[in-house]
Structure 1
């Protein structure tokens, strides 16, 4: 299955883990954030992610590069939700 946000130039190809691959679900990043989701609607996307089962590990923080917060998806993968700072 291929998934992508609306108007995205990139897609994810999702494949079902089989056999011993199942033992590694949620551990692909070795405990670190390894997926980055850029948004133009931080608050709206945060709400949608929570409704879909994501768990945020922190409150949004404002960095020089934009607004960011770490969340885990339902499989344990750690992501950054990032709204880049305007120019």
Structure 2
């Protein structure tokens, strides 16, 4: 058993793809036409970090209720965790590409950590080795 996908609700497919692939370095696994449950067109967009097993389904907000959770999917908590082998290099690269970090890097018993915002405003931990 494995966790295959998690969903992040975003404002726009293409902007989200650009952030996850161009800034975070994820691969675009799939971008296919699809339909909503009531038959309207949408896209099935999946990105995945290099070497990762679990992908992220980027879901463009459909309606007011979904639009209301963009950037606040986990009620302001850190809800996503990106582990990297070289924390300092990843942090510098992401800063250089304009990623907004809301905390400075710090050392914890589990490793280096800094909190950043994705394109939608969700909080992520960038994690490095202990």
- Tell me whether 1:80 sits opposite 2:129 in the alignment: no
- Tell me whether 1:27 sits opposite 2:97 in the alignment: no
Q: Paired residue for 1:12, among 40, 51, 56?
A: 56
Secondary structure of 2:93's counterpart equals: helix
The runs of 4+ residues in structure 1 deviating greater than 2 Å are: 47-54
Consecutive unaligned residues of structure 2, counting only runs of 5 or more, are: 1-44
Higher relative contact order (CA 8 A, sep 6+): 1
Larger Rg: 2
Higher strand fraction: Structure 1 or Structure 2?
2
- Cα RMSD (Å): 1.5
Matches of 2:57 and 2:86 in 1, distance apart?
24
- Give CA deviations for 1:16-58 in whole Å, capped at 9, x if unaligned: 1111111210111101111111111212222333344421012
State the TM-score, normalizing by the size of structure 1.
0.84
Consecutive unaligned residues of structure 1, counting only runs of 5 or more, are: none
- Tell me whether 1:55 sits opposite 2:100 in the alignment: yes
State the TM-score, normalizing by the size of structure 2.
0.59
Matches of 2:106 and 2:92 in 1, distance apart?
16
Matched positions, count: 85
